Structure 1
Amino acid sequence: MDSIPTHTQLPTTTHALLRLPSPVGRLELTADDEGILSLSIETDGHLPLDATPETPSPVLRLAAEQLNEYFAGTRQSFDLPVHLTRGTEFQRSVWARLASLNFGNVISYGALGSDVGRPGSGRAIGGAVGANPVPIIIGCHRVLATSGQITGYSAGQGIPTKAWLLNHEGIAHR
């Protein structure tokens, strides 16, 4: 995965858009010339850019292939360029740590906060995790409360979507 930018940029124009079915609902991916910008999971039958025609690109076709392999259980890591154009330095540090988690691994919000130099910042950590623009590819579903409980998920149908992803990776949760 490409390194996460160390500076905030204005959003670039989306040059490519691709949708694909998945076990957690339709997925919508966007990309620019540098890499994947976003991944959205269908919520209540809708995607953010449903009215926009698809304009696939080679990187989005590769992402679709790798996501299909992930859902089929034959891929455990993604090798895709990700271009994070939004987010604060703090959010990008959280996303970078999430990107380092392997398939089937989990981290608590508290440990994540400690890892990025912000111990005791549970609410801020939760906000940064929830703002991840490329869920699944950057595995924000791998963050749980210290007790192993799912406390929320901002993509798709929320907790049921997160539970599906955790179960798919064999991650125990409550």
Structure 2
Amino acid sequence: MDTPHAGDAALGAAPPVPDEPLTARLHERLARAAYAAGLLDVAYRTLDTPVGTLLLAATEQGVVRVAFESQDHDGALQQLADKVSPRVLKAPERLDDVSRQLDEYFAGARHHFDVPLDWQLSSGFRRSALTRLPDIGYGRTASYAEVATAVGSPRAVRAVGTACATNPLPLVVPCHRVVRSDGSIGQYAGGADAKRYLLDMESAA
């Protein structure tokens, strides 16, 4: 009878479980090395919030993307790789400031955001409309028609709706404060429940 080798027993054994803290440290070292070498064009992280997990991404110029789970985080990362740079890496430190400000916002301690923005995912009329949205104060709303008028194109109501629907920086650029003329909340990239939550949270402050 053949005598089994000691190593044979290991053939059916489960693979070793990675040391998660070690993996995280190695990833952090990689991110820092990539940044130091100028190889990190887009950093990203996720943030848990009352309206779900957000994907946050930034270039050296500023925050470039905020995406809800319903917008498909993998798809958002692919968009960044296609339109900004393929050098995309999870590097939370670059997003520390906006993450802190979002936490403060959801805690009711912040009414506007003060972070640099990178607008390269928006252009033309859409960008012009979106840059007007921070003028809508915390706890207030404006209609799509009012925003169109503010941009100087009062008949471009649908175009304002499209700008809001494709806003690459929701929350930080508050498209949730834009509603229909009849007072109904309208559409929202994060979903109607998220939009209602944000409006109710702000109006209660």
Question: 1:18 Cα shift?
Answer: 1.1
Aligned to 2:3: none
Deviations 1:92-146 (A, max 9, x none): 1101101222211211011111110111222111001111110000000000111
* Counterpart check, 1:69 vs 2:104: yes
Q: Which ranges of structure 1 fall in alignment gaps of 5 or more residues?
A: 1-12
Q: Determine whether 1:110 maps to 2:145.
A: yes
Alignment check: 8 A CA contact 1:19 1:54 kept: no
Provide TM-score, normalisation by structure 2: 0.70
Larger deviation: 61-70 or 162-171?
Answer: 162-171
**Corresponding position: 1:47 with 2:80:** no
The offset of 1:16, in angstroms, is: 0.7
Greater C-alpha radius of gyration: 2
- 1:164 matched to 2:197? The reply is yes
Structure 2, unaligned stretches of length 5 or more?
A: 1-39, 79-87
**Which TM-score applies when normalising by structure 1?**
0.82
Deviation at 1:50, TM superposition (A): 7.6
Deviations 1:44-100 (A, max 9, x none): 8x5236898621233x10100000000011111111001110223211110110122
Equivalent AA in structure 1 for residue 200 of structure 2 = N
Partner amino acid, structure 1, of 2:164: V
Q: Alignment RMSD, CA only?
A: 2.0
> What is the aligned partner in structure 2 of residue 19 from structure 1?
46
Match of 1:3 in 2: none
For 2:43 and 2:134, the matched residues in 1 are separated by 23
Q: 1:29 aligns with which of 42, 56, 59?
A: 56
Determine helix, strand or coil for the equivalent of 1:39.
strand
Given the superposition, is the C-alpha separation of residues 64 and 38 from structure 1 closer, same or farther in structure 2, using an over 3 Å criterion?
Answer: same
Paired with 1:122 and 1:42, the residues of 2 have a C-alpha distance of 27
Counterpart-to-counterpart distance in 1, 2:63 and 2:184: 30
Letter in 2 for 1:146: S
Tell me the SS of whatever aligns to 1:30: strand
Matched, 1:132 2:158: no
Structure-2 separation of matches of 1:101 and 1:27: 23
Q: What is the match of residue 20 of structure 2?
A: none
Structure with higher RCO (Cα < 8 A, 6+ apart): 1
Identity %: 35
Deviates more, 1:81-90 or 1:108-117: 81-90
Q: Distance in 1 between matches of 2:123 and 2:63?
A: 18
